[in-house]
Chains A and B, each alone.
Chain A
Amino acid sequence: MSAAPPPSPAMPTYLGMPAFPDAARRAVADERLRANLRHATTTIRGRRAGAVAELDDWDALREAGKQIKDHVLANLGHYLRLLEENVTAAGGTVHWARDAGEANRIVADLVKATGETEVVKVKSMATQEIGLNEALAEEGVTAYETDLAELIVQLGDDRPSHILVPAIHRNRSDIRDIFLARMDGAPRDLTDEPAALAEAARRHLRAKFLSAKVGISGVNFAVADTGTLVVLESEGNGRMCLTLPETLISVMGVEKVVPSWRDLEVFLQLLPRSSTAERMNPYTSTWTGTHPGDGPRDFHLVLLDNGRTATLADEVGRQALRCIRCSACLNVCPVYQRAGGHAYGSPYPGPIGAILSPQIRGIGSDVDASLPYASTLCGACFDACPVAIDIPEVLVHLRARAVEDGPRHPLERASMTAAGWVLRSPALLRAAQRAASASRRVVGRGGRIGRLPGPLRAWTATRDAPVPPPESFRRWWRRTDGGRA
């Protein structure tokens, strides 16, 4: 038994990340970024709606997906033990990691044991979450991202801004510029045609795939009763990483387990249509332990907690663990569309990130306490979610936690408390309304208010405020006996 590892941060907070409103302000001012995001999100929104409308039993699939995930969460210990037993029986090795530091240590040790200093990686949110590439770099191991968008991010020394398409903030000409500047062997006459960019990536990575000895992946689903691991992808880089190396290390959050093979019939319909708006993604690979004569000889599965059991303990917040990382909520979110993914200060941006990051990392920092407020509660995310996560409900729940446990905002607290007293008393409300009506000659010019002081200045920077009326409704009701006088 090994000693407990030293405490480590659950997830990189992207050092120096400001709270959401400040980061979003910069994004909103970046017209090119807004144009890229608008183009990409509106394209996928329309296509997703079509892919979903094609199945007339979508609501039933969604309900089944939700129930399967809730059933797993309510029996998580059972299914993890079963998964471990079946993976082990099939020739794999299962490791458990309490947090990011422990998971990184396990993976780094496994890689070093092979004697290799390079690994190929297929895009994985779990390894983004734990900052695996940076941890491997510190151990002298270079991790090559092979997913096209991850490659764009890695070559551009950038951060991912979307769950599915980490380089969504880049348009085709940005990508061409990055390839020309940073990709070894990129053709000098590279155009910004998507097919040409994809071809350049193919040539760039081919030798890496063919020589790699260690592959690292995430996991979309892990089937408990067979020990089968499932990875969905599009480009074939996943197949390369899962098949060609001698050693395969897969890192999965503990909530990714599903009970049985049959349950995939639900998720293989929900995920591709919600994610890339396809009937099915180009490639899905499944494997069960090791397969003699085909694929890796050594398979390691790292089961990652990293804040998930803490999230599981929260009755309202735990539904975030149903997430299958499709990114539909990002694509329909009007706030994400304007603010971009970087503003969320986490590998998990958008609505799901706003409820996942503060739960995984805790709500103590400014950025995490600001995330539950990064939403108008418009509800578009809930409608789009294929496993029916009531994101607005969790946001409201986490706002209460932010007020109770997060950084203090004395001015807001004082005004909310005062408003609470006023609104609990009709007499006080009447008095406040009289004061508002009395102020109308002072504040209003031409029937509207152009500038207000204090916190309300944020409103009147771009919007007029209405002038209070000469009398409130309740005063009119009393004066006129409800209009009858």
Chain B
Amino acid sequence: MRIALFVTCVNDTMFPGTGRAMVTLLRRLGHEVLFPEAQTCCGQMHLNTGYRRQARALAEEFPKVFAGHDAVVTPSASCAATVRDWHPRLAPGAGTPPVFELSEFLVDVLAVTDVGAYYPHRVTYHPTCHSLRMLRIGDRPLRLLRAVRGIDLVDLPDAAECCGFGGTFALKNADVSAAMCADKVACVERTGADALCAADNSCLMHIGGTLARNGARARTVHLAEILASTEEDPS
């Protein structure tokens, strides 16, 4: 399958390792991965901050960039949800390409849960809000993680509760955001995990920033990086 990677602006700029893991993983599964270089951003930040004009311009651009691919895959549940839920409303008639979040693509389209990964660490999984309540990917990431060899997967208490990121919410309502994140971090620490995993680096950046500030043991790792990791080539 010819898969276009929509890496997202945040991963492109701040978390290139997640993009590289996507490439490694999808190639290992036997697929051709393309990176349309005209891609930039889905417009979520502008949309969710109230700057509809800018968001619309980005939504109009998106289908032009990704036209002609079998599937568009992204390591961000939140950006996938923006494209799927909002682009048709922002740019009606522009034609939204088929965009899948990574775990949806693996489980639903490629019909695999065991991707041959190896990750010998204690991991807990945070189901991000947009993955749960916009994309409704349910337990797909957990099914993928359970099939990873060597992993010690532990439940996160109050997992479905928001971490308090919310894009510009973290700046506009920093106090509430920090209070929410403190509770999330306390739950992560209770698991004794070495790594906190999620399907979105923006939420991980938020939780990870608090974990780091607290000097906590757990680090953050994107789902793609665990799934890309193998015994021969560990991440």
Contact = CB atoms under 8 A, between A and B. Distances in A.
Interface of A: 20-21, 24-25, 28-29, 34, 334-335, 338-339, 370, 372-380, 382-383, 396, 399-404, 412, 416-417, 419-420, 423-426, 429, 432-433, 436, 448, 450, 455-456, 458-466, 468-469, 471-474, 476-478, 482-483
B152 interface: no
B166 A378 contact: yes
Interface in B23-55: 23-24, 33, 35, 37-41, 43, 45-54
B9 A21 contact: no
Interface string B156-193: 00001110111111111111111111100000000000
Interface centre among A416, A436, A456, A468 (most CB of B within 10 A): A416
B209 interface: yes
22 contacts: A34-B179, A338-B179, A376-B164, A377-B130, A378-B129, A378-B166, A379-B130, A399-B50, A412-B49, A419-B45, A419-B46, A420-B58, A423-B54, A424-B54, A426-B40, A458-B170, A462-B178, A462-B213, A463-B212, A466-B208, A474-B35, A482-B33
B110 interface: no
Contacts of A423: 9, 40-41, 43, 54, 58
Contacts of B46: 416, 419-420
A464 B16 CA distance: 19
- How would you classify the secondary structure of chain B's contact residues: helix, strand, loop or mixed? helix
B174 to A, nearest CB: 4
A406 to B, nearest CB: 8
B2 interface: no
B48 A468 contact: no
B172 A21 contact: yes
Interface of B: 7, 9, 11-17, 19-20, 23-24, 33, 35, 37-41, 43, 45-54, 57-58, 61, 86, 129-130, 132-134, 160-162, 164-182, 205-206, 208-210, 212-213
Contacts of B41: 423, 429
Contact of A424 (B7, B12, B61, B133): B61
A185 to B, nearest CB: 40
Given A403-B51, A473-B12, A461 B178 contact: yes
Contacts of A466: 14-15, 205, 208-209
Contacts of B37: 426, 474, 477-478
Report the 9 A-B pairs with minimum CB-CB distance, sorted nearest first. A376-B166, A463-B209, A399-B50, A379-B133, A420-B54, A403-B50, A458-B174, A378-B162, A378-B129
Given A420-B57, A459-B171, A399 B15 contact: no
A377 B208 contact: no
A456 B171 contact: yes
B209 A464 contact: yes
B169 A373 contact: yes
Contacts of B17: 469
Contact of A426 (B39, B176, B177): B39
Nearest to B27: A483
A188 B205 CA distance: 55
B217 to A, nearest CB: 15
A469 B14 CA distance: 6
Nearest to B133: A379
Given A380-B160, A466-B15, 8 more contacts: A372-B50, A373-B173, A379-B133, A379-B134, A380-B129, A420-B53, A429-B13, A477-B37
A474 B61 CA distance: 18
Contacts of A372: 50
A335 B176 contact: yes
B19 A463 contact: no
B134 A424 contact: no
Nearest to B9: A423
A376 B20 contact: no
Contacts of B14: 466, 468-469
Nearest to A369: B50
Given A24-B176, A419-B46, A468-B13, A376 B51 contact: no
Contacts of B212: 448, 463-464
Contacts of A383: 133
A60 B173 CA distance: 36
A376 B162 contact: yes
B7 A459 contact: no
B48 A399 contact: yes
A455 B160 CA distance: 29
Contacts of A34: 179
A124 B169 CA distance: 32
Nearest to B210: A463
Contacts of A334: 161-162, 164, 180
Nearest to A463: B209
Nearest to B220: A466
A433 B12 CA distance: 9
B24 A483 contact: yes
Contacts of B33: 482
